Amino acid sequence: MSWKSRRPSRAFGQRRAGKFGCHRDYANPRTKGSEPMRGTGKADVFVMLAHPVGHAKSPGIFNEIFERKGLDSLMVPLSCRPEDFETFWAGITAAENIRGVIISVPYKTAVFRKCAAAHDRAARVQSANSVRRLPDGTWYADNFDGVGFIDGLKAGGHRIAGQRILQVGAGGAGSSLTYCLAEAGAAEIRLADIDSARAENLAALVNKAFPQCRVTVGEPDPSGMDMAINATPSGLKATDPLPLDVSRLTPDMTVVDIIMEPAETTLLRAAKEIGCRIQPGRPMMDFQVQGMSEFFDIERRSRSNG
């Protein structure tokens, strides 16, 4: 056979079977009958930022949503050392196709300070767990920690109004929780944190914003409380100390942990053995994902806000 008769059986742009039997129309990735391509040059790119980032669940959750909905989008987990944050964020901002960023420990406050504008629930705690790029290239901050937490509690049938609550942890996520618990009608919140000055400052701010809720600072002792909440990272590792005194728990109490992995932390396991009602961290995350999806406009329904 001469070289002139050696012709490709199909043109490059036609639908063809690949090495593993996958059919894809490379010239038209959304042709009827073929699955939409993801990760094209027109993809919306999102970032999950944490240090470390290995425990983060958001990339897997969002990429599954993108796949299920056939969206040309992807979320990438990234990390950097705290001393390299300024350089890292300059790079994120310079990367024009990054649509939004989900932020976790220890960068929620640092990222908030990089934003040109913010929703009230982020501004009041000076902390962002989600930011999106605006049309002018600047960033807009929001915080779904508290609203996701409250929606998760309500979905689990847990009452907030009139309750006396122990909250351990007054950091980025904890601050958002305290505001939202007071806003939802909690009667009393006792804050416990290794940084007592931080807890005192948060208590003063929430007391001023919601005077009907009494916010104090004390020990991680659930005595006399209706609900105990762990809003710290303590429990991510099996060797972590318990965040509160479980010997003071009673069966009529509700115990909540915002940690997602493990699903049943040492705290929740101890509380369950005592007979307490328990709430794991996953519902909070699920409701945050709903809010973040709308915030990022992942289905590209309206891009007037960025």
Distance CA 168, CA 271 (A): 15
pLDDT (0 to 100) of residue 39: 87
Q: Enumerate residues 6+ apart whose C-beta is below 8 A from 174.
A: 167, 191, 193, 202, 231, 232
Reported as a single tens digit per residue, the pLDDT across 254-272 is 999 999 889 999 999 999 9
E strands, the chain, in order: 16-17, 23-24, 44-49, 73-78, 98-103, 117-118, 130-133, 139-142, 164-168, 188-192, 214-217, 227-230, 254-257, 277-279
pLDDT for residue 1 is more than 60: no
pLDDT at 35: 65
Give me the catalytic one of 26, 107, 140, 179. Answer: 107
Q: Which pLDDT tens digit goes with each residue over 146-197?
A: 999 999 999 999 999 999 999 999 998 999 999 999 999 999 999 999 999 9
Mean pLDDT of 128-153: 97
Q: What percent of the chain has pLDDT over 70?
A: 87
Model pTM above 0.85: no
**Could you count the other beta carbons within 10 Å of the beta carbon of residue 149?**
28
Say whether 179 is catalytic.
no
What's the pLDDT score for residue 172? 85
Q: What pLDDT is stored for residue 32 in this prediction?
A: 44
